[in-house]
Amino acid sequence: MVTPAAQHLLDSSWTIHRLSPLHHEKEFQSLIDNPIALKTYATRLRDQLTGNAFAGFQVSGVGAEDDALSRTGALQNCTWELLPALSFLDSDGSASDNYLKRSSGILVVLQYENTIYKAALLAPPEDKSRGHEEPESTTHLPLLLTRLPNPLRQTFIQFLATNFDTYCSVLRLPSYFMCSALEMYINHLTLDDNSSSSGSSQGVVRNVIRELQLTLAFSAPVSPELKTLNITIPRASLTSFLSPSHSVADSTQSGSMLSGLSEYIKKHLAMDLQLTDTPTSRQSPANQHLRLTKIACGGFILGSEGRVKLNTYSKSKRASDDPAEDEDSLHSVRGRLSLRASEALLQSIFRRAVSRDDSTK
């Protein structure tokens, strides 16, 4: 059920970047479907890394990151591999849509003696409605995911800039996007999947999300002493914030989970947080001084500073609410819904990367 793309991208913490088009007309007319080009750039990156201080990470300094880098050992191999499809579900898994099935990208793997680092340059889906196509000698890979220590990340980004005349920046996620992402993820968990009562919406949410942790940040003028507020919703209380008719159409309506949480906090703490993604909430005074900066749950972790981790649903993590039901069936249903929700979340990040919206609030 799990595709190679899922195996590479899930269960890893990534830093999210927005990447401008790669220009390679001076050396190769194509990149994605050109094994010779991929091998050439892999060899060039390996030579650059083995030719400077980052080969064995012999960096100066006394920081914890420097100590960790010094234990990675020497670089043994560098590969650039084709990532042909970004769907997390195979044809039997009935992925949520074909948006990511038409995508492709490049997976960069740096294998050291004691660890492996990765980066993924992801291509946008085919869009026949676009008025023009990219030149053949230019490759558009707008979403860059890096799982690299900062010194190596900067070296890799510089390598891309030097070889492809591209610009890279960390993809910041505004508060309204964070709210929308959480609601969207839950919506895809609760979509009707023709499952039996063992895969009921509430059971799926409890077992995939498990515990929900939200971090809110306040602006200094409004709250000089209270900089952040951590909110934890235990597993047993999650579904109490869900509307019975929770669906994709309700993701920005009053029946959403965040709306229920906002009402609860307003009632018990007298704080009007307005944790929803609506045109009204985006312009509200509260959201001018309050930001949702981190979401952490069993399904994923998302940070406004440009961090994401998409988790797989495994038996080892499961604490079933339905012990009398068939465990393999439960695991299959919830695992499929979890992959579908993760795929949809990656899709929303993709849309953010290709959009021209640079707001961070």
Q: Residues 289-338: pLDDT tens digits?
A: 788 999 999 999 999 999 999 998 876 554 555 554 455 655 688 888 99
Q: Residues 149-167: pLDDT tens digits?
A: 999 999 999 999 999 999 9
Distance (Å, whole) CA 262 – CA 335: 29
154 or 65, higher pLDDT: 154
Distance (Å, whole) CA 253 – CA 141: 34
Q: Residues 234-245: pLDDT tens digits?
A: 998 988 887 654
Q: Residues 87-113: pLDDT tens digits?
A: 766 655 444 445 455 557 899 999 999
According to the 3-state scheme, what is the secondary structure of 227-270? CEEEEEECHHHHHHHCCCCCCHHHCCCCCCHHHHHHHHHHHHHC
Closest CA to 98 of 135, 61, 125, 65: 125
- DSSP states along 307-334: EEEEPPP-GGG---S-TTS-HHHHHHHH
Quick one: what percent of the chain has pLDDT higher than 70? 69
Closest CA to 301 of 192, 173, 188, 169: 173
**pLDDT of 201 strictly over 60:** yes
Token reading at 152: 């190596």
Q: Is 81 helix (H, G, I), strand (E, B) or coil?
A: strand
203 or 292, higher pLDDT: 292
Average pLDDT estimate for 225-242: 88
Of 160-164, 273-277, 346-350, give the lowest mean pLDDT range.
Answer: 273-277
In terms of Cβ atoms closer than 10 Å to its own Cβ (0-12, 13-18, 19+), residue 357 is exposed
| Matching residue, tokens 């999650």 | 238
Which one-letter amino acid corresponds to residue 260?
G
Per-residue pLDDT, 244: 52
Distance (Å, whole) CA 117 – CA 37: 21
The pLDDT mean for the chain works out to 79
Of 15-24, 133-142, 230-239, 352-361, give the lowest mean pLDDT range.
Answer: 352-361
**pLDDT of 249 strictly over 50:** no
Q: For residue 9, count other CB atoms closer than 10 A to its CB.
A: 26
pLDDT band at 269 (very low <50, low <70, confident <90, very high): confident
Per-residue pLDDT, 257: 85
Beta strands (DSSP E) in the chain are: 13-19, 22-23, 75-83, 105-112, 116-122, 138-139, 143-147, 168-170, 212-218, 228-233, 290-296, 300-303, 307-310
To 10 degrees, the CA torsion angle through 241, 242, 244, 249? Answer: 140
